Amino acid sequence: MTRPTRSANRSLANGRSGTRLPARGSLLTSLGGYVDDQVPVEGQSVDAIHDRIRAAILRGEIAPGDEVSQVRLARHLGVSRTPLREALRMLLHEGLLDAQPGRQMRVAGYSVKDMEQLYVERIALESLGIRLTVPRLLASDLSSMHDHHARMRKYAECDDFEAWEVPHRALHEIFVSQSGERMTALIRQLSGAYTAGGAEHQSIIDACVRADADAAARTLAEHLGHTALGVIAMIEPDYRASRLTTAIAAGATVVPADRR
């Protein structure tokens, strides 16, 4: 599978055309044992460790087939072995890792079809999540959106994509923050996948400010969909993502006022 370049990351985070794509990063080299620099996870919780490794797999920082060294990974993330083992067990259950008796775990293969299915789920959940959230947003939520987006622009200008991802994720969490604990937990599990940036985020924020739930859901569905379609086109140009286009259309459907 062809891996996209860092230049594509730069173009999208700055709001130009293109798709923000994964670069093989520090977690990959730590798993392979090539570097020992520590990139600590914020906190020792199983969920935080799981989310960091899961995001690295979904973004392509760790390649399919790479061995997972618990010793090197624990040192690299600055975490203890006990929560790391539980996080890896969760990833194994999700199918992102493979385990064979007597061998180290390896990163499972991740196909274009897998990516499409992941985005179908994410578009369905996030577009509904933002519909539920928009009527319940407070002024403080809108202020936080603007703050996170400003930080994203700042980090994009200096090409600091690791830092950019922190406010980016926080922004998406606010978009669905009032959809209920169970739904936000499900969305969080899917949020490690590739994402776009730039002008689309501003359009979603503008819809939230107007309290226009339909426009927010449509723009968010298109935002996620454009990202996925761009990635798929680069990896497998002839792939027909029919489920994905259906999910985008469903996410953009206007809900009649008398059914809200």
β-strands 106-107, 97-98 pairing: antiparallel
Half-sphere exposure of 69 (CA within 13 A, CB side): 15
Is residue 146 domain-shared with residue 253, that is, in the same domain?
yes
Tell me how far the alpha carbon of residue 140 is from its chain's centroid: 24
Last residue of a domain, one of 52, 83, 107: 107
Residue 10, domain member (yes or no): no
Is residue 120 domain-shared with residue 50, that is, in the same domain?
no
> Which structural domain range is residue 168 located in?
112-259
Is residue 166 domain-shared with residue 123, that is, in the same domain?
yes
Residue 2, domain member (yes or no): no
Tokens representing 237 are: 């140009």
Residue 6, domain member (yes or no): no
Last residue of a domain, one of 60, 84, 107: 107
Tens digit of each residue's pLDDT (9 = 90 or more) over 109-149: 778 888 899 899 999 999 999 999 999 999 999 999 999 99
Say yes or no to pLDDT of 240 above 80. Answer: yes
Percentage helix, strand, coil for the chain under 3-state DSSP, each rounded to 5? 65, 0, 35
Last residue of a domain, one of 83, 107, 131: 107
Residues 9 and 149: their CA atoms lie apart, in Å, by 17
- Looking up residue 39, the CATH number of its domain turns out to be 1.10.10.10
Is residue 122 domain-shared with residue 100, that is, in the same domain?
no
Is residue 83 domain-shared with residue 199, that is, in the same domain?
no
Tens digit of each residue's pLDDT (9 = 90 or more) over 17-57: 343 433 434 454 444 443 344 444 555 688 888 878 887 78
Coil vs helix vs strand at 97: strand
Token pair 């994203």 in the structure block, residue: 152
Residues 84 and 35: their CA atoms lie apart, in Å, by 19
* Closest to 187 in 3D by CA, of 144, 220, 233: 220
Residue 52, domain member (yes or no): yes
Is residue 204 domain-shared with residue 228, that is, in the same domain?
yes
Residue 252, domain member (yes or no): yes
The pLDDT value recorded for residue 123 is 95
Residue 119, domain member (yes or no): yes
Is residue 68 domain-shared with residue 144, that is, in the same domain?
no
Is residue 70 domain-shared with residue 149, that is, in the same domain?
no
Is residue 252 domain-shared with residue 125, that is, in the same domain?
yes
Residues 26/161, Cβ–Cβ less than 8 Å: no
- Looking up residue 217, the CATH number of its domain turns out to be 1.20.120.530
Residue 8, domain member (yes or no): no
Is residue 167 domain-shared with residue 201, that is, in the same domain?
yes
The pLDDT value recorded for residue 233 is 87
Is residue 87 domain-shared with residue 137, that is, in the same domain?
no
Is residue 161 domain-shared with residue 183, that is, in the same domain?
yes
Determine if the pTM surpasses 0.85.
no
